[in-house]
A and B are shown apart, each in its own frame.
Chain A
């Protein structure tokens, strides 16, 4: 069973190898003449102001957290979808109830304004 996944691992290694080889090759072939201006951070030609390691909008954290919550629910639906024909009406009703719960949470986050971008 596990041997069917060996090609997947090898393919990931092939991809990684291709990327690493290309970067090393390009660094070897290409010229290297760094100047002070060239290696400074690009900020539309201005002197860079402070670092980019600053605080940023909390919205992005919200989206990330909501994604994790919802993605787990989605993954939960895959086995159900594959077995749908065997589960029949009982399975359908169960998933319907599950979705109502999911949707209640969804309405809650919308009302709380967690997804408001302005």
Chain B
């Protein structure tokens, strides 16, 4: 047993050396692992969404494939693979294929900075072996915002390339909605940046250590960010891009088979990513108050990493349940209401939030509390 542990330690120590080959090998390995994790989470979410909606509507939901219908998403994937892949005659073939690829690639790649950089010490020099893909990116928050902006292209291109009026309207609505709410999103997190004094996701988490979560200091910022992430992920009550009664399927009207499947997957992956970003920014990330003292854990041990990941994913899944809960509770907005909420309510509110946060921080500094 001891020798196995020593061997693993030696291998990890060797991998933790910062040279270019190790970075390449590690990032490919971790990238593959993260891809698998997000696929499992997305599959589970699809199942959860159908189950929760069934409970809320006094139905059973999927219950035939596997225990409690848990294997339903797998059956769905098999079905999507064997479906005929129809691309319309008038569609722009290249962009019609490219759009779902952009959507899914962005949804997956954001995770490289979102997963918290927990680490264990390895080897005699106590090198840090990180469990996240890109642990040392010092502008993590900017990477997330940049990639989210590129995600808009997937939706817009899907709408345009289909050469269908419903798709075009859906794509336009969706992109206008996403860029409008991106503003409030970007402004809402400035309060967090002022408190943390850093764009590094890791520093943002450590600045909230021991229960000093930003949700208590930035409640307005949290609410604005939450609402904006509903709009960013095109989820109800802001699912106007795919408002069935008016737009059939919105930007993916002309998509079928696995191309549609990729959009579907991207939506759930984006939900998971938004929840993870919300957790990191406002709910203390992997911080569980008193865990260190109660369990007597040290930083850099495997047990600590497990506790941290457990805490992080518990918070993420609580938020994901909230996403599903809202979808099956609230009716859809009208488009003018949506744009008014974004531009005329949330934008001024988030600007005011920055000024108030700054003023209070300066006052506290004056009295020597901060």
Contacts and interface: CB of A to CB of B under 8 A. Distances in A.
B193 interface: yes
Interface residues of A, number: 67
B228 interface: no
A38 B370 CA distance: 66
Contact of A4 (B111, B138, B258, B361): B138
A11 B179 contact: no
Contact of A30 (B84, B103, B198): B84
B280 to A, nearest CB: 16
13 contacts: A4-B134, A4-B137, A7-B134, A14-B28, A16-B105, A29-B81, A52-B162, A52-B163, A71-B183, A81-B194, A82-B194, A82-B197, A85-B197
B72 interface: no
Chain B: number of interface residues, binned into ranges: 35 or more
Nearest to A71: B183
B167 A8 contact: no
B90 A41 contact: yes
B289 interface: no
B143 A8 contact: yes
B20 interface: yes
Interface in A34-74: 34, 38-44, 51-54, 56, 59-60, 63-64, 67, 70-71, 74
Best-buried of B180, B358, B362 by chain A (most CB within 10 Å): B358
Given A14-B109, A41-B164, A92-B359, A74 B259 contact: no
A19 to B, nearest CB: 4
Interface in B161-186: 162-169, 172, 175-176, 179-180, 182-183, 186
Nearest to A66: B343
A112 interface: no
B358 A63 contact: no
B318 interface: no
A18 B105 contact: yes
B355 A96 contact: yes
Contacts of A51: 90, 163
Given A8-B137, A41-B254, A89-B362, A74 B32 contact: no
Consensus secondary structure, chain B interface = helix
B187 interface: yes
A30 B97 CA distance: 15
Contact of B106 (A15, A63, A84, A106): A15
Contact of B88 (A33, A39, A74): A39
A42 B82 CA distance: 22
Contact of B262 (A4, A6, A22, A89): A22
B83 interface: yes
A31 interface: yes
Nearest to B78: A29
Contacts of A106: 347-348
Interface string B184-221: 00110011011001110000000000000000000000
Contact of B259 (A26, A77, A84, A110): A26
